[in-house]
Amino acid sequence: MRRLKSPHLFLKQVYKHSKPLFVLMIAFVMGQLYFNFKIGVLYYPAVYVSPFYLYGMYANAYHVNDEYTITEVEVNGNLLQGKDFTPQQWDKIIIPINYFNEIKASNRVYSTHIKPTLTKVGIETNDQNFLQSCTAGQFKSWYLPYLQNIIPAKIKTLQIRKRIYRYNGNVLQPNNAIAPLD
């Protein structure tokens, strides 16, 4: 395999090989430069450099909240902790609960934004195709056997709740206020 000594030699070879590909590559580069300037420099200089380089997560200060709402799962009286599971197992434990908790918000977005927009453009919607319905009891009856496949011990009791944790100095401490799965 031959090494190219500079980028302009590469572009010459692409031009000789395929003129449409050359034009596409130059258009892509010009588009990137345009968006870098238009979006990155004019509107969000500290955040965007291009669609490929997003500096926002590094360029801005990270603000720590005073409190966080944490999902807790208690099995047989023992609180499950992420450190006791692989990241994949912990995701399997927590993510379905988070999805269940977001059902109401999802239905609200459909009702307030999606349905009116579709109606305005003349597309009729059937709410049954978009709205999600699942009660806490239905979720728990599905979640219990699902969780049993992850946890080796036989599950006798299962508690799922949200607890608010607040900073006390530099330590995140649980608040006594807890909310059951809704």
pLDDT digits 0-9 by tens, 41-78: 555 555 555 555 555 556 667 778 888 888 999 999 99
Both 43 and 84 in one domain: the answer is no
Both 79 and 45 in one domain: the answer is no
Classify residue 79: in a domain, yes or no: yes
Number of domains within the chain:
2
Both 18 and 103 in one domain: the answer is no
Both 51 and 85 in one domain: the answer is no
For residue 48, what are the domain limits?
Answer: 7-59
| Cβ 161 vs Cβ 100: under 8 Å | no
**Residue 153 to residue 141: CA distance in whole angstroms:** 18
Classify residue 37: in a domain, yes or no: yes
SS3 118: helix
| Cβ 174 vs Cβ 163: under 8 Å | yes
Q: How many residues does the chain have?
A: 182
Both 152 and 115 in one domain: the answer is yes
Residue 143 pLDDT grade (very low, low, confident, very high; cuts 50, 70, 90): very high
Both 111 and 42 in one domain: the answer is no
Indicate the pTM of the whole model.
Answer: 0.60
Both 81 and 107 in one domain: the answer is yes
